[in-house]
Amino acid sequence: MTITQLRYIVALDQFKSFAKAAEHCLVAQPTLSLQIQKVEQELGFDLFDRKKNPIITTKLGKEVVEQAKSTLKEADKLFEIAGQWKDEPAGNISLGIIPTVSNYLIPSIYKKLQSEFPKVNFRISELPTLTIIEKLESEEIDLGILATPLKISNIVEHQLYYEPFVVYYPKDAKEKSTSVSMKHIEKYPLLVLGEEHCFRHQSLKICNRNALAKIESGSVETLKRMVDMGIGVTLLPKLAVDKVSERIVPFQSPEPAREISLVYKKGFYKTKILNKLTNLILNVIPKEYHKKEKFKVIGVSIGQD
């Protein structure tokens, strides 16, 4: 029985599908299926009921999966020890990141991830906050990047930077100035993201009102296009704005901002990767956003992105 076979078993238990498990493991489906069959032959019993759709893990299979997870964690520790000896991190890292951060952060760091972590296999998923927390607690992912503070007892928050909110006006707006307060935007319908996005709820906290117009599911780019059509105003994360425009205006001091952190479950041991990833991210974030002194941090409602 090999480490690779154990990874296949855990993946099939997670995804309940040979096709999805193979895609996750970056192998052909027949390869994954054959290797799992070899383990079942070696053990003398079935790990999965293939007659069900989705596939069901058998009672004995569940015990094997739990032991496989424990074994894989210890194997990853060996890779971490080897990386510390060689001063080069190695192993696997699953990273979940909320959409309103991933759209600008991942393009900025992806190539550096490959060059600075040549022996680390990163798997990056764009996920809402609640899903990231659930997957951290079930150890399906290792790290998350999201808005904090969360204040969850078994989740550690490693603060990275503070990102101000800015107002995005329609083209014909007459109330624009060098900085804004609520009185400048209260006459406009406020366009916000759907319920699954914490950025929506933070926007409503800042503006101290319910949305006059909203999108139940959508992206920051969709909001911007609606503003361009003159439907209302929206708030944007400052770092998602890629150009200077008189239609993009900061708030008056102290600027409302969100705290962005790397989060992980207590017991996370890949500290070398964590520290190096932290430095890599901070190197692409302007230094004026590294400290929170001049910002008013807006809290997060658990259950949203």
User: How confident is the chain (305 residues) per 10-residue block, as mean pLDDT?
Assistant: 92 93 91 95 94 91 92 79 65 89 93 89 90 89 93 92 92 75 78 76 73 56 86 88 81 92 89 90 95 88 58
- CA nearest to 257, candidates 157, 158, 159, 165: 165
Total domains, the chain = 3
**Which of these three, 35, 55, 84, is where a domain ends?**
84
Amino acid at 82: A
Same domain, 79 and 122: no
CA distance 154 to 75: 23
- CA nearest to 199, candidates 292, 80, 98, 67: 98
CA distance 128 to 102: 11
CA distance 89 to 178: 46
- CA nearest to 80, candidates 112, 137, 139, 120: 120
Same domain, 194 and 239: yes
Tell me, yes or no, whether 213 lies in a domain.
yes
Tell me, yes or no, whether 64 lies in a domain.
yes
Tell me, yes or no, whether 304 lies in a domain.
no
Tell me, yes or no, whether 23 lies in a domain.
yes
Look-up of token digits 């003398």: 44
Amino acid at 126: E
Same domain, 125 and 113: yes
Name 174's bridge partners. Answer: none
Q: Output the domain CATH number for residue 231.
A: 3.40.190.10
CA distance 15 to 70: 18
Same domain, 103 and 117: yes
Same domain, 171 and 230: yes
Percentage of the chain with pLDDT > 70? 91
Tell me, yes or no, whether 302 lies in a domain.
no
Residue 240: how many CB atoms within 10 A of its CB? 17
- CA nearest to 64, candidates 46, 37, 91: 46
Tell me, yes or no, whether 305 lies in a domain.
no
CA distance 272 to 85: 11
- What is the per-residue pLDDT for 186? 77
Measured CA to CA in angstroms, residue 67 lies from 4, 34, 62, 257 at distances of 14, 21, 9, 43
Tell me, yes or no, whether 41 lies in a domain.
yes
- What is the per-residue pLDDT for 87? 64
CA distance 223 to 234: 7
- What is the per-residue pLDDT for 84? 58
Helix, coil or strand: residue 139: coil
- What is the per-residue pLDDT for 218? 66
- Residue 180 carries which DSSP code? B
- What is the per-residue pLDDT for 76? 77
- What is the per-residue pLDDT for 166? 92
Same domain, 245 and 174: yes
Against a cut of 0.85, is the pTM above it? Answer: no
CA distance 76 to 64: 18
- CA nearest to 193, candidates 228, 230, 218: 218
Same domain, 123 and 264: yes
Domain carrying residue 80: 3-84
pLDDT digits (tens, 9 = 90+) for 191-232: 888 777 778 778 877 776 654 445 544 678 888 888 888 888
Q: Output the domain CATH number for residue 76.
A: 1.10.10.10
Same domain, 166 and 253: yes
- CA nearest to 6, candidates 90, 69, 62: 69
- Residue 55: phi and psi, rounded to 5, are -60, 140
Same domain, 133 and 279: yes
